[in-house]
Amino acid sequence: MRKTIGVLSMVLAAGLGGIALAPAASANQAAPTGATGAEIAGRIWFDADLNGQQDPDEDGIPADLELVSLSGNHRDNATADENGRFSFTGVPVGDYEVRYAKSSPLISPSHVGNPRTDSDFTEYREGVGAIIPTSVTLDSNGELVSDQYLGGGFHFGG
């Protein structure tokens, strides 16, 4: 009799332990990564031949950029350096636009060839400028996923 009660208690304890631990473990995983934020980065460049790829002889463009949430709220500003490289850091999970308020609507074709060196401008919006849509998501391990190879190719002509 004693032996049977002992086994029953152990089974009950193990079952309860399993139930109690599961939600605590997943909550602990998501909190620290979500608080840090992700990096969104890329390069604005002068696409001389307008082929949508960053070629070795094409220069970067220093540019003032704005990060805006899809709901239209200003999130951050960044300035591309003399090589056209820019970075936004500490960006939380969400959908965004990187906006470049250039005056010429002549932008490179979107997503042609190698995604690390292509142009991710998808539209020129009158009164706003050239738009790169992007997002920060969480993968199944709770790790932040963001694009650090965003390209913005354009031409002055037209």
The residue ranges that bind Ca ion (CB under 5 A) are: 47, 49, 51, 53, 55, 115, 118, 120, 149, 151
Residue closer to Ca ion, measured from CB, 31 or 49: 49
- φ and ψ of 93, to 5 deg: -55, 135
Q: CB nearest Ca ion: which residue?
A: 55
How many Å apart are CA 132 and CA 96, to the nearest integer? 8
- Distance between terminal CA atoms of the chain? 92
Q: How near is the Cβ of 49 to Ca ion at its closest, in Å? A: 5
CA 156 from centroid of its chain's CA atoms: 27
Q: How near is the Cβ of 23 to Ca ion at its closest, in Å? A: 38
Residue closer to Ca ion, measured from CB, 34 or 106: 106
Q: How near is the Cβ of 88 to Ca ion at its closest, in Å? A: 15
How many Å apart are CA 135 and CA 69, to the nearest integer? 9
Helix (H) or strand (E) holding 40: strand 38-46
Q: How near is the Cβ of 80 to Ca ion at its closest, in Å? A: 15
Residue closer to Ca ion, measured from CB, 129 or 151: 151
